[in-house]
Structure formats: C-alpha cells, structure tokens
Amino acid sequence: SAYLPFHVIGVCEDMKTLMRYRVGMDVVYTTPYVDTYAIYSSTTGEIVYISANSLSSDITKLSFSKSQG
C-alpha cells in the first residue's frame, strides 16, 4: 500500500492498442491521462474497474463502495 496509487500501461490483445490504468486502494483521484481506473478494497479484497469514458468531467475522486463491487 505504500506504493499506491500508481499508473500502469497495458497492451491489448491486438498488440497495438495501449490502455492507461490508474490503480488505487479504496480511493483514487481522476486525471485526464487515464483510460481505466482500478480501485482495490482494503477491507474485502475486491477490485472495481471504471472506464474513464463513463465519468463526467466534474468528478475528481472515485472511491470503492460495496454497491459497485
């Protein structure tokens, strides 16, 4: 947890498309340089993935909630 949040670049199956991920524990702040957010729950161990395209521009922080996971 000392190294969270962090960014990861993932390569899709077509080996041409790059996806930018931001990974955080319980909460993650939004940035325009991310395609997908991954939020890890420290209490349940679940991970929720949220597409940046599905968010409105006024959202600055995402947090893990049981209803999302």
Cα–Cα dist 27/37, whole Å = 10
Q: pLDDT digits over 51-67, tens only? A: 999 998 889 999 877 65
H-type alpha helices, 19-66: none
CB 50 within 8 A of CB 62: yes
pLDDT digits (tens, 9 = 90+) for 8-29: 888 889 999 999 999 999 999 9
pTM above 0.85, yes or no: no
